Amino acid sequence: MKIVILDGYVENPGDLSWKGFEQLGEVRIYDRTPENLITERIQGAEAVITNKTPIREETLAACPSVRYIGVLATGYNVVDTEAAARRNIPVCNIPAYGTDAVAQMVFALLLEVCQHVGEHSAAVKEGEWTKNQDWCFWKYPLIELKGKTMGIIGFGRIGQSVGKIAHVFGMHVLAYGGSSSSEDTAFAERVTFEELCARSDVISLHCPLFPSTRGIINKDSIAMMKDGVILINTSRGGLIVENDLAEALQCGKIYAAACDVVSTEPIQQDNPLLKCDNCILTPHIAWAAKESRERLMQIAVENLRCFCEGKPQNVVNL
């Protein structure tokens, strides 16, 4: 089997191994693939592995050898799944590999908003503590999470993991959307979207990007929120109307935001959030702990192995 990996660098910049794929066939690995080279590179390939490189209908029409498409991510919107289905090509994604890593990142971001650890460390290294007349100082308000209310929009695997951590911090957890079980209702209160906006001190986004959720955080939903709410987004940038969020940050309606994702990635210099001092921006790294990427690699290899054995798994389109 000829296997082509179109954009492997972000998944494996050199600290992991492609050996699992190499045991299944002849592998050609590209760090990145520009759109004008996609068709050329997968000519003759039976299995195509992609992360963010698009696989469109015209590409599949020009490459009839393709029998399998694997996505090195949970989201699979880069693939024309309907075009693949018409050709009986399974598209397989990677569910659940980064649940713990993303939940950890949510609290890394939230704690930075609450404690400003990085900025206080920088101040100390710049001599501010040495020159201070008192034995301690703080440059920003410090926030205790216990007793606060966290609203989680999208209460699936990651949302529930975030909720469990929030519960341990002593926060009251509100949940909207996602699955429901007796386990999650033990620590979370199910509410409507409007009630979640109105009651939450912190809102964390964990829903997929669908037409129904695109721009779910906008001037109208922000108007329903408490003054001084904190917003965390480690899900999809398109969930937020960024101009509306920027305006709310600048006027103080939203106290602070922390976004690991934005609408266009890499972030563009005209993104309004870049001008907001009370917005933390990180480069889509919530998923990227080495342990998380190792799980992703293992599942990706197993997906292809199962396909080769005639029992495809994690299929999203057939």
Polymer length of the chain: 318
Q: How many CA atoms lie within 13 Å of 197's alpha carbon, on the beta-carbon side?
A: 15
3-state secondary structure of 313: coil
Of 284, 294, 302, 305, which is the active-site residue?
284
284 flagged as catalytic: yes
Of 116, 199, 236, 295, which is the active-site residue?
236
Helix (H) or strand (E) holding 259, with range, is strand 254-259
Question: Which residues, other chains included, contact 302 with Cβ-Cβ below 8 Å and sequence gap of 6+?
Answer: 313
Q: Please, are residues 242 and 270 in contact by the beta-carbon 8 Å criterion? A: no
183 flagged as catalytic: no
3-state secondary structure of 186: coil
Of 22, 126, 265, 291, which is the active-site residue?
265
26 flagged as catalytic: no
What's the helix, strand, coil split of the chain in %, to 5? 35, 15, 45
Number of H helices, E strands in the chain: 12, 12
Question: Which residues, other chains included, contact 233 with Cβ-Cβ below 8 Å and sequence gap of 6+?
Answer: 204, 205, 217, 239, 240, 257, 258, 259, 260, 261
Cα 316 to Cα 298: distance, rounded to the nearest angstrom: 18
- Could you list the active site residues? 236, 265, 284
